[in-house]
Structure 1
Amino acid sequence: MSCSGFTCSKNCLCAINLLYVMVSMLMIGIAAWGKWFGLVSSFQVVGGIIGVGVFLFFVALAGLTGAIKHHQVLLFFYMIILFLVFVVQFAVSSACLAINKEQQNQLLEVGWNNSQTTQRDVEKSLNCCGFSHVDVNGTCPAACFLSHTKCDTCAAKIQEHAGEVLRFVGGISLFFSFTEILGVWLTYRYRNQKDPRANPSAFL
């Protein structure tokens, strides 16, 4: 059977959704691993990653079930949700790739001020204190502060890699956004194809 046929569309949809299932499980596993080993102590960060992973898992499960059973309702809602995810993800990935250093610094400072737990995690892992200045009269879990040696600000250390991280995240996100629009197109085509094993006169 040619790749434009029913079976090929079904297999492609199943493959895409299996990929999404694996990605979602990986996200959940990495977040749980980071929390378990104390790499990330912020419940907001861990909860956010796990939440996105669970959402992606259920979307992929709906798509996989709809593809296997050729279920029209499931495929319709899957197609709509996947398109909305594509729009959001494409916008975020484009922003990550287009953001300049000044905007990076503003976003980093906003994120820094939102969570003291995240501040402590960053200070400890990067061995730095404070965002833009070091408060010698304050507290800091960094090794340099505890040993009374000179500490760099966290802004300086974060900005060393922020651009690379944003480009990497933006590129990966952009890649997956194109797989999502491919999934939308495949779902639309698959919904309008007749199952050769079904009753030829049945309405699809």
Structure 2
Amino acid sequence: MGTPGRGRRRGFDRDEALLTATRLFWERGYDGTSLADLTGAMGISPSSFYAAFGDKRTVFAEAVLGYMRRYTAIYVDAAGEPTARAAVERLLRDSVDEFTDEDRPMGCLTVSAAMTGGADTIDVRRTLEEQQVALTAVVRERIERDLASGALGAEVDPEAWTEWVRVVWEGLSNQANAGTPRERLHEVVTLALRAWPS
């Protein structure tokens, strides 16, 4: 009896199940995704779901934080560009490509998670906000490096321009959620970057 049980456990791919949950939350939101939706899509029983993830709130938090790691990589890679402007452009364009990837729902799960959900998602949204603050700090530090080197004028306010980047980034995500095509979003990036200080 023990051997078949071990076989069933090997047949359950937790990472794949988490990806399935991520897609459901992305498409339907936290409140719109039921336990039955999750277990049905994963092909497991409620008891197996609880054993693997704990509860819906926990798997939602794990899905959001796991997805956030992808954007962390985008921010960190962009910060390696030779100028702050080039870093911001790469960040925005790579994010647009991520938002509009045809293999996933349009937009950004993390922005959606920050804007939707009830009391069960308050802690998730708080954690997400903390991570977004950490990511925007990457942008601010890149701007401050250009200020220190003289590549940007002393009149440039790094805090204000960091917030500008965040507003543009979140706006692109929201427009992707609304179905704006990738090409149009890249046009918006081009127009937005005209405001960047020379």
Question: Which structure has the larger Rg?
Answer: 1
Q: How high is the TM-score relative to the length of structure 2?
A: 0.31
